[in-house]
Structure 1
C-alpha cells in the first residue's frame, strides 16, 4: 500500500487551489524581497552582520585570530561558512546568533538581526513625559 497520494489522484479543484496558493506565496515572497533584503542562506546573513558591524577582513583577523584570507574567501564565496566562523561572529555579535543560524529573530530574548536593529534605530524615540 502506498502511503503518499499520487498527484494524479488529487481532485482538480484541490490541485488548482494548491497551485493558486503556491503562486500567491511566490508573489508575496517576491514582493517582500523587493522591499526587504532577503537572506536566503547563512553565508548571506553572515556577510550582512559583517557589513552592519563594519568588520573588515583585517579587523576580523585581529579580533578572532582567523587569517584575513579566509575572511576574504568567505565574503567572495570562495569557501563555505564553518563552525569556527560561526563561533567567531557569535562572539563578536551575540545578539545575532539566532538569526545567523536560523534566519529567525526573537527580540523579546535579545535576538535580533541587523535589519531589525536598523529599523528600530530609525523609529522616533519614545521619551518619558513627551507627547
Structure 2
C-alpha cells in the first residue's frame, strides 16, 4: 500500500465526515478559497490549517499530521472510524 500524503489524508477526512468546503471553512475558520487551493495542490498546506482540522476533528489529529494511529488514546484514521462504526464500537476522542 502506498503512503498517503497530508492532502490525501485531509481528503479522506472530508469524505468520511461528509463535509463540503463551506463546512470545512466554517469549522476551521480558514477561507473556502484557501481550502480550494490547498486541496487542489495549488498551494502548500500550512501548519495552521493542519492544526485547525485537528481541532475540528480531534480524533484524527495524529493521523492527519503523521499518518499514525494511537487508538488507545482516541487517535484514529477515518478508515478505523468507519470500521469501528460498522462494528458498533466507535468511541469519542477526548
- Is 1:99 paired with 2:63? yes
Which structure 2 residues correspond to residues 43-54 of structure 1 after superposition, within 5 A? 43-54=7-18
Runs of 4+ in 1 over 3 A off after TM superposition: none
Q: State the alpha-carbon separation in 1 of the partners of residues 84 and 69 from structure 2.
A: 13
Number of equivalent positions:
89
- Is 1:40 paired with 2:19? no
* TM-score, scaled relative to structure 1: 0.61
Structure 2 spans left out of the alignment, 5+ residues: 90-94
Q: CA RMSD for the aligned pairs?
A: 1.7
Structure 1 spans left out of the alignment, 5+ residues: 1-32, 127-131
The structure that has the greater radius of gyration is 1
Q: 1:79 to 1:41 in 2, by over 3 A?
A: same
Structure possessing the higher relative contact order (Cα contacts under 8 Å, 6 or more residues apart): 2
* TM-score, scaled relative to structure 2: 0.83
Q: State the alpha-carbon separation in 2 of the partners of residues 88 and 70 from structure 1.
A: 13
Q: 1:64 to 1:40 in 2, by over 3 A?
A: closer
